[in-house]
Amino acid sequence: MLTGNAVTERTVASTSQMLNPYTGKLDEELLLAAGLAPDKFGRMVEPGEVIGTFEGIPVVAVAGHDTASAVLAVPSPDNNFAYLSCGTWSLLGVESPRPVINEKTLEYNFTNEGGLDGSIRLLKNICGLWILEQCRKSFKDAPEDVGRLAALCMESECESIINPDAPDFVNPDDMTAAIDNYCRATDQDIPATTADYTRVIFRSLAKRYKEVLGWLKELSPIRIERLHVIGGGSLNQYLMQFTADELGIPVIAGPTESTALGNVLCQLRGIGEVKTPAEMREISINSTTTKKYIPIK
């Protein structure tokens, strides 16, 4: 719309199931099977590529997929980390130099999505704070402030655990009732208070992160020494500590607006202000505040 140049940006194309992750190009066999022709798509461009100008101003194709931009801004000095984009949904993965496609990635339902410089975001989608958001509709006399609501988890001793990715929690009419039914079916205590529900949700998410991280370690070509959490969920200190305790590795929380920061960093690279991903990450480190959570058990 700004340049008159219709393009296909690779990180977005990588989520279409039509991109060959080995070649970085649209797969002609798949296109033909779907009755599509390659010439119907715009030119494939990489994140950080200048695609035209608008009134003399360069227009840069950023990493158009929001998680791809967010990962660019992870404030890490090295590559030995997993990332968790944490909000309504959770996306847990690593930056891989190559696609990882085998029977295990199929079994564990991991995806290979595009990143900067041909990198691959090997990740799995997990449910997130959607469950808490839906429960709030049923809570009575609960604090409106999210921070105060989250703090209630420390007033509970409920030990029940749910699988956040179970079909029961996709979109029930009443999320608290869905949790009750799940606990009843699995012979666990049914939460009785708002504090109980918040504790069950946070601990269950942390345990699910542990399970998925275990699978990721089987698949990842890189060593995972810590977890970087980006997005709004990184502000939830209780979820972060539960996660550190479950994973047994440090959790680095922040920044919250990682997608916006990654977008800007990609534009800076497009106009030549930075050259390497390492330089981009150094800017992120120097421009953001993070909080480190150490396992306490």
Q: Is 117 among the catalytic positions?
A: no
Q: Residues 39, 66, 174, 180: which is the catalytic one?
A: 66
Question: What is the SS3 assignment for the chain?
Answer: CCCCCCEEEHHHHCCCCCEECCCCEECHHHHHHCCCCHHHCCEEECCCEEEEEECCEEEEECCCCHHHHHHHCCCCCCCCEEEEEECCEEEEEEEECCCCCCHHHHHHCCEEEECHHHCEEEEEEEECCHHHHHHCCCCCCCCCCHHHHHHHHHHCCCCCCCCCCCHHHCCCCCHHHHHHHHHHHCCCCCCCCHHHHHHHHHHHHHHHHHHHHHHHHHHCCCCCCEEEEECHHHHCHHHHHHHHHHHCCCEEECCCCHHHHHHHHHHHHHCCCCCCHHHHHHHHHHHCCCEEECCCC
Active site residues: 66
